Chains A and B, each alone.
Chain A
Amino acid sequence: MTVIKPFHLMARTRDVLPLLLNLPAVILLLAFIAYPIGISFWMSLHRYNLRRPDQVYFHGLENYANILASSEFWNALWISLYFTFMAVLLVIVIAMAIALLLHESFRGRGVVRALLLIPWAIPGVVNGLMWVGLLGDYGAFNAMLEDSVAAINYLFGINIVYTGMASPFVALNAAIGAHVWRSVPFACIIFLAAIQAIPTEQYRAARVDGATSWNRFRFITLPWLYHAVLVVAIFETMNGFRAFDLIYALTGGGPGDATHVIAWQTYKEAFARLDFGGANAYSYLITLITMTLAIIYIRLLYRRGLVQG
């Protein structure tokens, strides 16, 4: 038995050492990711309102039930769905168009590619404030929009009243525009990388086969980009549902509840109503929705065989 012991110890060391080396990372992950996720879920199952700090107690799924029963939630969900749908659509279309342009070789392409990244580097709040400047009462965009509306009114003999950011329609779509402006660069980089990976012989073969430039895009470029589109769609869906900093700075959720996206609603629950239980429940609902959408995307594209596993 004495002979076996050292071996036994060695085996132990071999098992323990990797764990030991991973421990710092594991502790950090547990402390900063797993614990907040866990505690947040736990809080979402409690009545936990700072206005009544003495009345913290477990009440199961009641927060969720309350949220699902509230018209505020459904309003916020619809606004978020519209916001996200428009954002994903616009980001994909615009980013792909820009990526296709930047794939062509022209003078100063490197500079333009670098410039493209600037919006991406701007923090959401700063982006929001910038658009406040552009779309505010004295903003350039605001003036342009006002003039355009006046021109349309004149041309078609109609009477649209332009109220700028005081209009729910303008405010929501302006928020979408600002969000898209900031999101396009990232998507564009992904598309550009994917476009560059398409072998040029594919296009040569397609040209010999008689494909017009539209058909080359339709039958060669687009299928080669399905994977990139999927990645961008998932990212942008998540970003769209979580959009908050921009809205905080640009519209403050207004006018009225026009830009009460679901993330804003979460914020309101936590920091206006001080209902931490309800806010955590909101957070979980957002997570659930984005995950569901991501799974649907992946399922759809995989099933159609467009993405190679």
Chain B
Amino acid sequence: MARVRLTNLTKHFGDVVAVDDVTLDIADREFLTLLGPSGCGKTTLLNMIAGLESPTSGEVWFDDRNVTAVPPERRDIAMVFQTYALYPHMSVFDNVAFGLKMRGVPAEERKRLVLAAAKTMEIGHLLDRKPRALSGGQRQRVALARAIVRDPGVFLLDEPLSNLDAQLRVVMRTELKRLHGDLEMTFVYVTHDQAESLILSDRIVVMKDGKIQQIGTPESIYDSPANTFVAGFVGSPPINLLKGVLEQSGSSGWRVVGEGFACEVATSMVERMEQPEGREVSLGVRAEDIGIDEAPSSAGPATETGGRTGNKDQSVGRAEVVVREPMGSDLYLTVDVGGTNVKVRTRPDNPADRGDVLDLFFDPGKIHLFDGQTGESLIPDL
């Protein structure tokens, strides 16, 4: 059990700023994910929590204890590494028992704890084997058993699933979630896989270039991204971003006009802005929030698409289908909006194909506005 607090944590490697002034409060028993592309500093941040890296400045607190200068062996942590880092010359039993042995736990007690951890991770039948005789998934389980056997307060995981094949990753993802439910530990999980972070986390910290971009629940990260980076990084396929300019439409309404589209936006989005008229913005809309006209190139009435009803009056523009990608349960169409590729998710039975020209409808409640220069969200915090 441990609450982890990071205050103004910074790490320099020579001239490179790996982690830049990170302040973070991780609640006891929370599942927190550090999400970002490679080189964003998430692993360095994790290593500083572990004590494997010492911060250039800033502090690390476990509950009421300042552990900034405390070596890893005297912090109450366990860690799972991307490569598992099992000791190749030791049996599975010895691998799991190593941490207990180093801490002077008596042999009898050690055996009892190892067997219990092995039972939790379902590796009881593998205890005599050497790591090289195990499959990737089994090694992963051993690495987890080695971590949980000491019953640490904080459980640190550094991309633990990235060496597994796609199917196994899904299985182990579920396993991790179960583990977090069963164990009373704080989980800090590093990944570059946004899907993993959305599925596993209580909260996600999105990082880029050593800086925190946004902290929030998976829902808030997905629904209200703080900037174009977060919007583009979280969600698959990535959010569609269209460059445009804000202008007045009619008497009181506003719309974003760009190459090949014009989209009405709610007045509430604009009213708190200074000088909205003519402001350059990026309009973000996710693939599932775009509706299409189901009868391509016909003058017939608009029909229900993408789970929403489109109305010819609300069409933001017409676009040509460039690529059709059926995915089983969904169909993804890539359409060309004024030279920008836009992904649209629709029902698999939609007949639209390459070359068809369709009307697009953006769900007005689901569009995002970002500053054209800084990429920061223009939607006021809720």
Which B residues, 60 to 112, have Cβ-Cβ distances below 8 Å to chain A?
Answer: 71-73, 77-79, 81-83, 85-90, 98-99, 102-103
> Does A284 interact with chain B (Cβ within 8 Å)?
no
Q: A202 to chain B: which residues have CB within 8 Å?
A: 85, 87
Given A204-B79, A206-B102, A210-B103: 12 more A-B contacts, CB < 8 Å: A202-B87, A204-B52, A205-B79, A205-B81, A206-B98, A207-B72, A208-B73, A211-B73, A219-B90, A219-B98, A223-B87, A223-B90
Give the total of B residues in contact with A, Cβ under 8 Å.
Answer: 24
Closest residue to B143 on the A side, CB-wise?
A: A205
Q: B50 to chain A: which residues have CB within 8 Å?
A: 204, 208
A contact residues vs B (CB 8 Å cutoff): 199, 201-202, 204-212, 215, 219-220, 223-224, 226, 306, 308
Q: A204 to chain B: which residues have CB within 8 Å?
A: 47, 50, 52, 72, 79, 81, 85
What is the bound-complex CA distance between A110 and B77, given in angstroms?
37
Give, as a whole number of angstroms, the nearest-CB distance from A206 to chain B: 8
Give, as a whole number of angstroms, the nearest-CB distance from B193 to chain A: 20
> Does B177 interact with chain A (Cβ within 8 Å)?
no
Residue from the list A201, A209, A226 in contact with B98, Cβ < 8 A: A209
B contact residues vs A (CB 8 Å cutoff): 47, 50, 52, 71-73, 77-79, 81-83, 85-90, 98-99, 102-103, 132, 146
What is the bound-complex CA distance between A208 and B99, given in angstroms?
8
Residue from the list A201, A207, A224 in contact with B83, Cβ < 8 A: A201
Among A199, A205, A212, A306, max chain B CB count under 10 A is at A205
- Listed from nearest, the 3 A-B pairs whose CB atoms lie closest are A209-B99, A201-B85, A210-B73
Among A199, A204, A212, max chain B CB count under 10 A is at A204
**A209 contacts B73, C-beta separation under 8 Å:** yes
Q: A308 to chain B: which residues have CB within 8 Å?
A: 132
What is the bound-complex CA distance between A219 and B99, given in angstroms?
12
Among A206, A207, A209, A210, max chain B CB count under 10 A is at A209
Q: A212 to chain B: which residues have CB within 8 Å?
A: 73, 102
What is the bound-complex CA distance between A167 and B259, given in angstroms?
97
What is the bound-complex CA distance between A306 and B88, given in angstroms?
10
Give, as a whole number of angstroms, the nearest-CB distance from B45 to chain A: 15
Closest residue to B52 on the A side, CB-wise?
A: A204
**B73 contacts A205, C-beta separation under 8 Å:** no
**A to B CB contacts below 8 Å, 14 in the list:** A201-B82, A202-B87, A204-B47, A204-B52, A204-B85, A207-B52, A208-B50, A208-B73, A208-B79, A210-B102, A219-B87, A219-B90, A223-B87, A224-B88
What is the bound-complex CA distance between A226 and B89, given in angstroms?
10
Q: B82 to chain A: which residues have CB within 8 Å?
A: 201
Among A205, A208, A210, A224, max chain B CB count under 10 A is at A208
Once A204-B52, A223-B89, A224-B89 are accepted as A-B contacts, the answer to whether A210 and B99 lie under 8 Å apart by CB is yes
